[in-house]
Amino acid sequence: MKTERNLTNLAVAMFVLNLSILSFYSLICVTTTFRICDSLSAHDFLTSVRQIPRYPWQMPVQSLGLYAVLCGVSFFKLFRPIEHFPLRVFVCAAEIALCAGIIVSLNFYYSGVALLVLADLVHYMRSNRMRLCFIVILSLMFAFGRYEIVEQFTNSIAFDAYLGYYNPMIQSCFTGLESLMVCLNIILFVLYMILLFTGQKEENARIRKLNEQLNQANDQLRDYAVNMERMTQMRERNRLAREIHDTLGHTLTGIIMGADAGLALMDVAPEESRKRIQIVAQSARDGLTDVRRSIKALRPDALEHSSLAEALEGMIENFRLTTSAQIAYDQEAGTLNLDSDEEDALYRAVQEGLTNAVRHGRADRISVRVTRTGDLVTVSIRDNGIGCAKLEEGFGLRHMRERLNMLGGTLSYGNLDSGSQNGYTGFFITVGLPIRNKKGE
């Protein structure tokens, strides 16, 4: 920030100095012209230079006018940042053109304006290629925009011819002042460049440091996520253990004690023994109810209140609404009378498939088909997404496979070829599940 302020101060100093130099040349040329006329030596002057001078007003008006526009453009782009790249290049080209105009309107007496513009543009454009371009153009203008070089091609009068009017003492004063200002301009330019490039080096170092900090934070976040998952598993395990301990442990203990008592009383008091066994049976039944309740606590809510077909339809509708994907759902399996664990497995498979299609495949058209051949229910999910470049079983698919394997089912998935049916070219998941209860046929 401090560097930036210093740069601005230097730039302002350069602008002021160049204004003085421009005024210096204009003033000398104009006043000398009129002094020559007043002292009746116009004819001698013309004879010595053999060249008609430009209109006296031309140099001050043109050079200072163009300079004012140049300052305007330079400060405008400082306070109103331009985002559009071609427009930025255009502004730079305009500044270069103005610079050339100023040098020409000053009869090539002074080309230091090129340094001012160079400093300004190098600060403004950060692209190295553009910078190189500016450096080449403006350096050439600085080096070749000298009267001594273009003398043969221009028909303007040498500055020395004007100075020649004065006596040697005043002449040396003027030349001294001229070279002093020209040198000062070069010094300011060099200072500006040094400050600009050291400032940029510091900024680069700062960015590198910030990047490292960001990477560290990312690593920490990843560790945290892994820990979190582990803790969730632990909590679930504890809950299951507690549930098993509270329900099954309690019931089984009661059943064992009741059964033992029943065995012991069998011969002595058969009536009492029967009573006990009845209690055991009741206790076992209560236990089963408890177990069922525990498992139900882990089931999807939708399946709790409706059938699989309805639950799937509801989920798909919900999915359509939330993701705006087109989902074709064909239920061709008739009425399914499945056990809750089988319903769970199918429900979770469809849920996972849809989620993957949208999240990883970025699909907007998905087809879900449920068919039944004999006691095998097949669910196939296809999408038109980008598929998966590297087939790797993630957490969701592994979980699905485990769940299905427990029920004797199969899982297959992969990318679809472009020539496959229905115009789907993304990803497919096919789930096969043999059903235990054949009532629903």
Partner 1 sequence: MKKRLLKRNAAALLTLMLCLFLAGCVGNQETVLTIGVYSGSYWNTPNGNSYQILDDVITLFEQSHPGVKVEYVSGIPAGDYSEWLAEQIMKGTEPDLYFVLPEDFDLLVSSGALAELDERIAGDPEVDTAVYYEPCLRSGQFQGRQYALPHESVPTIMFVNKTLLETNGIDIPGNDWTWEDFYNICAQITHVDLRQYGVYGYSWLDAMYSNGAALFSEDGRSCYLAEENVQQAIQFTKRLGELNGGYSVSVRDFDLGRVAFRPLLYSEYRAYQPYPWRVKKYSAFQWDCVTMPAGPSGSNASELRTMMLGISSRTRHEDLAWELCKLLSIDENVQRELYTHSHGISPLPAVAEDPELLLQIHHDIPEGSGFSPEMIHRIMSSAVVVPKFDAYDQAMIMVESAIQEAAGNQLGQSGMLIAQSEINIFLNKS
Say which DSSP state 153 is in: T
How many other C-beta atoms are found inside a 10 Å radius of the C-beta of residue 292? 12
- 47 vs 213, which CB is nearer to partner 1? 47
φ, ψ of residue 90 to 5 degrees: the values are -60, -45
**Euclidean distance between CA atoms 215 and 218, whole angstroms:** 5
**Euclidean distance between CA atoms 315 and 305, whole angstroms:** 13
Torsion of CA 336, 338, 344, 346, to 10 degrees: -40
Q: Is 57 in the site for partner 1 (CB under 8 A)?
A: yes
Largest Cα–Cα separation, the chain: 158
The least distance separating partner 1 from the CB of residue 36, rounded to whole angstroms, comes to: 6
Q: Is 42 in the site for partner 1 (CB under 8 A)?
A: yes
What x-and-dash track marks residues 195-234 binding partner 1 by CB under 8 A? ----------------------------------------
Range in contact with partner 1 (rule: CB under 8 A) among 53-61, 166-174, 329-337, 354-362: 53-61
- 107 vs 425, which CB is nearer to partner 1? 107
Q: Which residues contact 327 (CB under 8 A, 6 or more apart)?
A: 316, 319, 320, 354, 365, 366, 367, 368
Q: Is 155 in the site for partner 1 (CB under 8 A)?
A: yes
Q: Is 58 in the site for partner 1 (CB under 8 A)?
A: yes
Residue 377 near residue 370, CB atoms below 8 Å: yes
- 43 vs 438, which CB is nearer to partner 1? 43
Q: Is 154 in the site for partner 1 (CB under 8 A)?
A: no
The least distance separating partner 1 from the CB of residue 33, rounded to whole angstroms, comes to: 5
Q: Is 47 in the site for partner 1 (CB under 8 A)?
A: yes
> Of the candidates 10, 28, 53, 368, which one interacts with partner 1 according to CB under 8 A?
53
Q: Which amino acid belongs to residue 104?
A: V
How far, in Å, are 150, 230, 370, 420, 428 from residue 332 at the CA level?
91, 41, 6, 21, 18
Q: In 320-409, at which residue ranges do the beta strands (DSSP E only) sit? A: 326-331, 365-373, 376-383
Q: Is 51 in the site for partner 1 (CB under 8 A)?
A: yes
The least distance separating partner 1 from the CB of residue 35, rounded to whole angstroms, comes to: 10
**Residues 10 to 39: which contact partner 1 by CB under 8 A?**
33-34, 36-37
Q: Is 152 in the site for partner 1 (CB under 8 A)?
A: no
Note the residues at the interface with partner 1 (CB under 8 A). Answer: 33-34, 36-37, 40, 42-43, 45-47, 49-58, 155
